[in-house]
Amino acid sequence: MDNIVFLFLRRMRQPLLTLIGVYSIAVLGLTLIPGQDADGQTWYMSFFHAFYFVSFMSTTIGFGEIPYEFTDAQRLWVTVSLYASVVAWIYALGTILSLVQDKTFQRALAERRFARHILHMVEPFYLVCGYGETGQALVRALTDRGQHVVVIDKDERRTNLIQLQNLRDHVPALSADARKPLHLQEAGLPHRACAGLVAVTDDNETNLKVAITSKLLHPEIKVICRADSREVEANLASFGTDHIIDPFDTFSIHLATAFRRPCLYLLQRWLGGEEDSQLEDPVYPPQEGLWVVCGFGRFGKAMVARLASEGVEVVVIESKPEITGEPPRGWVQGRGTEAETLLEAGLERAVGIVAGTDDDTDNLSIVMTARDISPDIFVVLRQNQSENRAIVKAVQADMVMHPSAIIADRIRVLLGNPLLFRFVSLALQEEDAWACELVSRVTALVSQRVPDVQELVIDERHGSAVCDSDARGEKVSLAEVLRDPWHRDRQLPFIVLMMQRGDGYFLLPDEETLLQHGDRLLVCGAGGVFERLRWNLCHATALEYVRHGDTQAHGWLWRHLMRWRKRG
Amino acid sequence: MNPEKVVFGFFIVLALTLNFGFFVGEIDNPEHHHAYELFAVVVVNLIATVLKFGDRSQMGAVLLATSLVAMLQLLAASLVWVYAVHISGQGLTPEITASIVSLSGGAMLANVVSVVLLVIETVMLRR
């Protein structure tokens, strides 16, 4: 506050002094110079009239010579003071305008307004550092789910972009360097309502600094960080970052899952997908045969390592080995966009190709050339920029790797649906047949859209009817809760994926399981029908109906009447 | 020898002396208090106030406060004068003159405080 006001006052000194000086000299002159009234008598202007006249003269309004016509002496004086005072006003106004438009001043104002807004936040919010591709996808995903977000990014253009995007919630954004702890503090890091920090800038050092700052200033909150290399990952893990996401590692794990357990991979994609998107088809990457990997950057290296560990033969195509490092034996020099390079790498007998360079045009070209030579080849495509979504979709690759989308999706699940995360890691330990059966059950539930996955908690706020019933000693089972409160003979179209009770997690709990206070359920089903399930949990009458089939009287008066009637 | 300090001190002391000059004399006699002098007092006090802008120290804040008080009183005195002479038409009666002069007396006290603070600041910083 002080900074801005004092800056303003200090800059305004010169113009104000000039204005005062010019005004006082003009007024004094006008009072001293003799004028003539209507009868020709000498008359001296009073201070009041002189001030009035100079005011409207200097602001170029010019009502006229008051109260009598001026003598020539007065007119001479007025001419001189006119030029001086108008210039003085323009100078003063110009200074004010330039001061208000000053970038520093505006930035100071914006920062203050932002910090004050954050101070008043009551509901929990997440602090997202970095508003590039990943940040944008993440913020959209979070706000769509109704979670509050605060954004901080170094680039002013990016933070200005927020106002243009149609986000569901108001997202306060600060354009400042997140490496400075002061800015993180202004953005609300130590605030009570800050529930987590996500560092997804495109610079590893910044992410590191932000994560450390968060762990020091507000140790209890969750810190999720993006990392691009092993050293950075190790560094982040060393001081206890809660989740570190490396998109290339994550994708290579996905690929491994797709190799060994295609049903589980499909399930993962379905459950973790964005709301209202189409159900995707299963993919079956071929394990027997040759794979060609184009591009030996971070992604390429991760792919080669993963394929090698699966025992698959790999040939790498790389155009700049001096930057990326020498690929393993049998590599081909080139970009892969021309047919000769691909043929040299053995594309005719290859079963899969990975287009993993960091240029979208190159990648698409590789894919199309490869399909020309071998139309049924399995294609893994790396997408770098989300603006190319339309052409990537058109090329219909079997697997698309989009780093920002992977990070954003993972963080979205981590923050919005932590139980789902746990479910997937537990499901990895099951057989693929189990996953296949679950896939067919989900397909039966939802027609073409991705199922909605939500967490339900049995506590006073969300499951009061069940808790009350439990307290009375009448346990409620899962099967009862899953009946339709409109017709108790029908089942609601839901699958209970997992139940958490205390520290224990139970996959696909049995229908006869009795619910207790404090249980958490992970439920998936068609989106629109969740309300009915919630109704069962929290509304006593609905619960009664699904359990017993008729509603009993609740009110005191009615119960007495009923009793009286039964007796009679 | 700091020229800025010279100018600063000059205008603060000048504001006080001119104010005293206007104030002195019978409180209800319009002959003893002239418009030109009030004009000079207002102008010099304005300049002194503007010079006190932008100082972030505690001393600077209090100095600015005293100047603002003095300006308030002086503007009130000018308004009363204008009202008496031009608006109500009754001219400078003894009562009106007494009001004007007492208001300027209040401004003078504020200027005294200002000068005292200036002296204290100078003494504390003696080099």
pTM: predicted TM-score of the whole model, two decimal places: 0.70
CA dist list (Å): B112 to B18, B40, B51, B62: 12, 17, 17, 13
pLDDT recorded at residue A312: 86
Which regions of chain A carry the CATH code 3.30.70.1450? 451-548
Please indicate whether, in this complex, the C-beta atoms of A47 and B54 are within 8 angstroms of each other.
no
**Which CATH code is given to the segment(s) A451-548?**
3.30.70.1450
pLDDT surpassing 80 at residue B40: yes
Which residue has tokens 């702890």? A181
Residue B27 distance to chain A (closest CA, Å): 21
Give the pLDDT band of residue A27 (cuts 50, 70, 90).
Answer: very high
Q: Which residues of B touch A17 (CB under 8 A)?
A: 47, 50-51
Say how many domains are in chain B.
1
The Cα diameter of chain A in Å comes to 118
pLDDT recorded at residue B50: 92
pLDDT recorded at residue B127: 59
Give the residue-averaged pLDDT of A258-274. 83
pLDDT recorded at residue B44: 96
Please indicate whether, in this complex, the C-beta atoms of A10 and B54 are within 8 angstroms of each other.
yes
pLDDT surpassing 80 at residue A215: yes
- The first and second tokens of residue B117, run together, are 């603070």
Give the pLDDT band of residue A484 (cuts 50, 70, 90).
Answer: confident
With the CA atoms of B76, B82, B84 and B88 taken in that order, what torsion angle do they form, in degrees rounded to the nearest 10? -120
- The first and second tokens of residue A39, run together, are 């009868």
C-alpha R_g of chain A: 36
By the 10 Å C-beta count (0-12 exposed, 13-18 middle, 19+ buried), A543 is classed as buried
Give the pLDDT band of residue A2 (cuts 50, 70, 90).
Answer: low
pLDDT surpassing 70 at residue A414: yes
Q: Report ipTM for this prediction.
A: 0.81
pLDDT recorded at residue A554: 64
Question: Is the domain defined by A286-397 classed in CATH 3.40.50.720?
Answer: yes
Phi-psi region at A62: left, alpha or beta (left = phi > 0; alpha = psi -120 to 50) = left
Give the residue-averaged pLDDT of A489-511. 87
Range of the domain at B49: 3-124
Please indicate whether, in this complex, the C-beta atoms of B56 and A28 are within 8 angstroms of each other.
no
Give the residue-averaged pLDDT of A107-130. 87
pLDDT surpassing 70 at residue A568: no
Which regions of chain A carry the CATH code 1.10.287? 2-101
pLDDT surpassing 80 at residue A3: no
Residue A70: count of CB within 10 angstroms of its CB: 19
pLDDT surpassing 90 at residue B62: yes
pLDDT surpassing 80 at residue A193: yes
Q: In what order do the strands lie in the sheet with A313-318?
A: A332-333, A313-318, A290-294, A350-355, A378-382, A399-401
Give the residue-averaged pLDDT of A262-286. 81
Give the pLDDT band of residue A465 (cuts 50, 70, 90).
Answer: confident
Is A199 strand, coil or helix?
Answer: strand
pLDDT recorded at residue A441: 87
In sequence order, which residues have a C-beta less than 8 Å from that of residue B96 and are 6 or more positions away? B80, B81, B84, B90
Which regions of chain A carry the CATH code 3.40.50.720? 121-245, 286-397
Give the pLDDT band of residue B64 (cuts 50, 70, 90).
Answer: very high
Give the residue-averaged pLDDT of A392-399. 88
Q: Which residues of B touch A2 (CB under 8 A)?
A: 56
Q: Which tens digit of pLDDT belongs to each residue from A536-556?
A: 888 877 888 888 876 666 667
Which chain B residue has its CA at the smallest distance from A31's CA? B36
Q: Which tens digit of pLDDT belongs to each residue from A273-282?
A: 776 677 778 8
- The first and second tokens of residue B98, run together, are 């007494």
Helix pair A133-144, A403-416: axis angle to 10 deg:
30
- CB of B50 within 8 Å of a chain A CB? The answer is yes
Q: Which residues of A touch B50 (CB under 8 A)?
A: 13, 16-17, 20
**Which CATH code is given to the segment(s) A2-101?**
1.10.287
If you average pLDDT over every residue of chain B, what do you get? 91
Give the residue-averaged pLDDT of A209-226. 91
pLDDT surpassing 70 at residue A7: yes
Give the residue-averaged pLDDT of A53-72. 90
Strands (E), A63-129: 125-129
Helix pair A103-119, A72-101: axis angle to 10 deg:
50
Contact in structure between A61 and A53 (CB atoms under 8 Å): no
C-alpha R_g of chain B: 16
pLDDT recorded at residue A272: 78
Is A552 strand, coil or helix?
Answer: coil
Half-sphere exposure at residue A324, Cβ-oriented, CA atoms within 13 angstroms: 23
Can you name the CATH fold of A121-245?
Answer: Rossmann fold (3.40.50)
Please indicate whether, in this complex, the C-beta atoms of B85 and A46 are within 8 angstroms of each other.
yes
- Distance (Å, whole) CA A505 – CA A509: 9
Q: Which helix (H) or strand (E) holds A501?
A: strand A494-501
β-pair partners for A501: A504
Please indicate whether, in this complex, the C-beta atoms of A20 and B39 are within 8 angstroms of each other.
no
If you average pLDDT over every residue of chain A, what do you get? 86
Give the residue-averaged pLDDT of A484-507. 86
